[in-house]
Chains A and B, each alone.
Chain A
Amino acid sequence: MKSMLNFASPTHFLRLARVLIPVSAALTALLLGVGLYLAFFVAPPDYQQGETFRILYLHVPAAWLAMLIYCVMTSAALGTLVWRHPLADAAQKAAAPLGAGFTLLCLATGSLWGKPMWGTWWVWDARVTSVLVLFLIYLGLVALWRTIEDPGKAARAAAIFTLVGAVNIPIIKFSVDWWNTLHQPASVFRLGGPAIAPSMLWPLVVMALAFTLLFVTLYLMAIRNEILRRRLRRLSILAAGEQEPSPTRGSAWEVAYEP
């Protein structure tokens, strides 16, 4: 555990991020280019949905990421509350706006697909509603981080909120099995293999990888920003000559963000 703490110290992270961010960004651009080419020029139109099904190459990866990011945030919340890992707070805070962004994309593209296919922009279906709840949780977390000034207290409050909100993830995943929904059931990760033709499945796999790499790139950049923000705060306090110890002073969090 001690070696993990040392390895993932903010200073080590910044060094690692300097190398990883350009590599990850280049891979994202490459995969997005390939994925978009496959989605528009290789995948044939669907026999029922026509060209509209191409929206799913954005919608499905965004939906996967909306849930994946929440799982990442839940791990970070555990890191904050259980192990008090110095990077966990930053990792938690950095993920919430990205999760909100990908969930918004999922909802908006779903709506743009739903209008021509279902004949409506929105239905209060279990899957769609639970994803809307996820979006509201992300917004709540962003608001929570901005409301509480002390980063230590904000991290603990956000971690508890995140862990409580994690109950929504299995609800999203299994909503299509538990309730009779308009939203279709799983067609890629299911018993009996994917229900999609390979010519349509491969562009989806590439787009999902591209979106995941986009998230990794943005996440590394956002965590780096959080570390810098905490260093700035720490330096400002030191520069102001504040001698009074703060409630979190001397904790792993404060020591870790020493420049």
Chain B
Amino acid sequence: MAENPDDKELLFQFRNEATKERAFTSIIKKYQEKLYWHIRRMVVEHEDANDVLQNMFIKVWKNLENFREDSQLYTWLYRIATNESLTFIEQQKKRSSVSLSDDENSFSNKLQADKDFDGNKLEWKLQLAIQQLPEKQKAVFNLRYFEEMPYEEMSRVLETSEGALKASYHHAVKKIEEFILNR
């Protein structure tokens, strides 16, 4: 297998029983950091991010054989990662016995509990602001702001139209601005 095989080659190797595990390991190593940070910005805590990431890759293992390749591999991976994160957050909400308004702040609480948290720093304020956003809007903002993902690609990840994504991003930025300026 080549030093940095492209996705097509990895998919081909994955479908061969003799090289399946090796190909899968390569896929993990190629995308683990990008996917991890995308998940982490959604769920905040490392332990949760790790759980979601591992569950996500297990799903990949089970379903990659049937991947139709009508999108890029990484687009497909991001979709699974985002859906797993949103599912996790929903489950957290259901488990939580507090009211909805309190629950919206639970990820803010987790953020402020981080040992490196510094409320005086703008980058931490930004993270706090992001945690105030609705979950899907949070995903839109993160993918655009941190991952610099084109809207065309994002529409395949989130299965939403480009127009809706642009509007969502615009609203997200405005909300963040208001939060930071008023805090």
Partners in one complex: no
